[in-house]
Amino acid sequence: MEMDWVSFLTDPVTLASGFAALGSQIAWTQQAALWLGHDGLAVLAVVGGFFGGLALGGLALGRRIDRSADPARWYAGCELAIALWSAVLALGMAPACRALVQALGPAPAGGVHALVALGGVFLLLLPATVAMGATLPAMQRLVAGPGQPAAAIGWLYAGNTAGAVLGVLAGAFWLLPTLGLARTAGLCALLNLACAAGVLAWRRRGGAGRLRERRRGGPAQGRGHADGSGGATEPRWGHQHAHGGALRWGGVTKAVAHRHGLHCGLAGARA
């Protein structure tokens, strides 16, 4: 019964987190294109910065979260960090990009231009993307216990990916044309805040304590690490699970589909 209650919480949270992540990414790509002057370079810069930040977040924080006795607080903290930095970017990305353009000068060398474009976008997005990279490990740690941890992470990943698909479609074809860049980013930040608030409310009602009691009933299983975020996260399973190869190929497939989906979304937004 407890797992049913946890699923009732985590299914909409992971869906909303994935929606917010990819909705924010669409907005960031559009903002980057305004100063880079080229959609293709903007997609490359934002996608590279996005996945680079996810990897760093999972690598830097995954083990600490796995050892934590309070993963709900970790998850809520990550979502709060994403929301706050998304709000900062909604207001500050344009002036920051103008400063980068001024630093480049009127005729920068090709290598310098690429370095500043890719590195600048990577650093601008880094606080949010690192936090995104730690959300899936935190949620996995929150729900995994005796029983079927692999099934639990599968549902989390599926929900997060579904939310990401909805975020791309809604962001490109509805939110951006209707609300504009700043308001779309603000709406995604509000979704991140809602995810944090939902998990904290569940934690205050004693849900985390009941999960810990349930885990004491059997040996801890499947505490593999995962790297990823609310909308767009990639698991890092190593060799701990028999189906790790399939999941790694699934991650590659998602990354390829994500890239093409982002191109289609931006094309729709430009149309």
Residue 243 φ/ψ, nearest 5 degrees: -95, 20
Residue 59 C-beta-side C-alpha neighbours within 13 Å: 7
> Average of pLDDT values for 128-152?
76
> What CA–CA distance (Å, rounded) separates 112 from 117?
8
Give the highest mean pLDDT range of 19-23, 107-111, 222-226: 19-23
Helices (H), the chain: 2-36, 39-67, 71-104, 110-143, 149-170, 176-179, 181-204, 207-215, 244-270
Greatest C-alpha distance within the chain: 66
> Average of pLDDT values for 14-38?
87
Residue 24 has pLDDT above 80, yes or no: yes
43-47, 79-83, 148-152, 206-210: least confidently modelled range: 148-152
Q: Is 264 exposed, middle or buried (0-12, 13-18, 19+ CB in 10 A)?
A: middle
What percent of the chain clears pLDDT 90, i.e. is strictly above it?
35
44-58, 79-93, 255-269: least confidently modelled range: 255-269
> What CA–CA distance (Å, rounded) separates 15 from 18?
5
Task: Please state, in angstroms and as integers, the Cα–Cα distance from residue 142 to each residue in 43, 82, 136, 201, following that order.
Answer: 33, 19, 10, 14
Residue 155 has pLDDT above 80, yes or no: no
- Per the CB < 8 A criterion, the answer to whether 261 and 166 are in contact is no
Between 207 and 230, the more confident residue is 207
pLDDT in the model for residue 114 = 76
Residue 223 has pLDDT above 90, yes or no: no
Give the highest mean pLDDT range of 108-112, 147-151, 240-244: 108-112
Q: Is 242 exposed, middle or buried (0-12, 13-18, 19+ CB in 10 A)?
A: exposed
pLDDT in the model for residue 164 = 93
Residue 254 has pLDDT above 60, yes or no: no
Burial 2-18 (b: 16+ CB within 10 A, else e): eeeebeebbbebbbbbb
> What CA–CA distance (Å, rounded) separates 120 from 255?
22
> What CA–CA distance (Å, rounded) separates 17 from 232?
9
